[in-house]
Structure 1
Amino acid sequence: MTSTTSNPLWSRRERPLRLECRLEFPDYPATRDFLDRAAALSERTGVHPDISFGRTYVNLTLPADEGATELGESLCRFANDIEALYR
């Protein structure tokens, strides 16, 4: 796993294995802009997180493949790319 495990933005969860994060934004336009950029990233990478959002937040879950005991490289890379979009 890459640096996502040591970054406080993402939390590793077990049963089922996944990464989760909650991102906060100052207003809806900032939230919407992030969602648009995250959607473009998903299309480019083929990684499609579970997303829920409100006016000023986005929750993301990146589930590992069923039965996996480690997070895949593509999920870790996607998590790092999301961090870059958020910063």
Structure 2
Amino acid sequence: MNSEWQERNRPHRLERRYQFPDYSSLRDFLDRAADLSEREGLYPDMGFGRDYVNITIHAEEGAEALSDSQRRFAEQLDELRGTDSAN
């Protein structure tokens, strides 16, 4: 798991913030993330501004931990973002 993701308890979740150089780059990422969500059937909470997005992936209701598919989803979001970013 990428160290940029913060794992939290109560409730169990993963959190990450991505920064973008401009709104156009952010919008492209959000569109690709929406496609990924549709394919995987996972829908994280997302809050965004002009050049950033905060993403929270919650564990399933009543689960004691995040699932492997949720962790894999976080890794796939990192791949969508690419490795050219500091955040």
Give the alignment's TM-score, normalised by structure 1: 0.90
Q: How far did residue 29 of structure 1 move?
A: 0.1
Q: How far did residue 41 of structure 1 move?
A: 0.2
SS at match of 2:7: strand
Which blocks of at least 5 consecutive residues in structure 2 are unaligned?
83-87
Partner of 1:74: 69
Which blocks of at least 5 consecutive residues in structure 1 are unaligned?
none
Q: How far did residue 73 of structure 1 move?
A: 1.2
Structure 1 letter corresponding to 2:20: F
In 2: Cα distance, 1:8 partner to 1:70 partner: 18
Residue 29 of structure 2 is aligned with which of 34, 42, 61? Answer: 34
Partner of 1:45: 40
Q: How far did residue 32 of structure 1 move?
A: 0.2
Equivalences, count: 82
In 2: Cα distance, 1:20 partner to 1:40 partner: 20
Q: How far did residue 68 of structure 1 move?
A: 1.4
Percent identical across equivalent pairs?
55
RMSD: 0.8
Residue 57 of structure 1 is aligned with which of 48, 52, 56? Answer: 52
In 1: Cα distance, 2:79 partner to 2:4 partner: 11
Structure 2 letter corresponding to 1:9: E
Which structure dedicates a bigger proportion of its chain to helix? 1
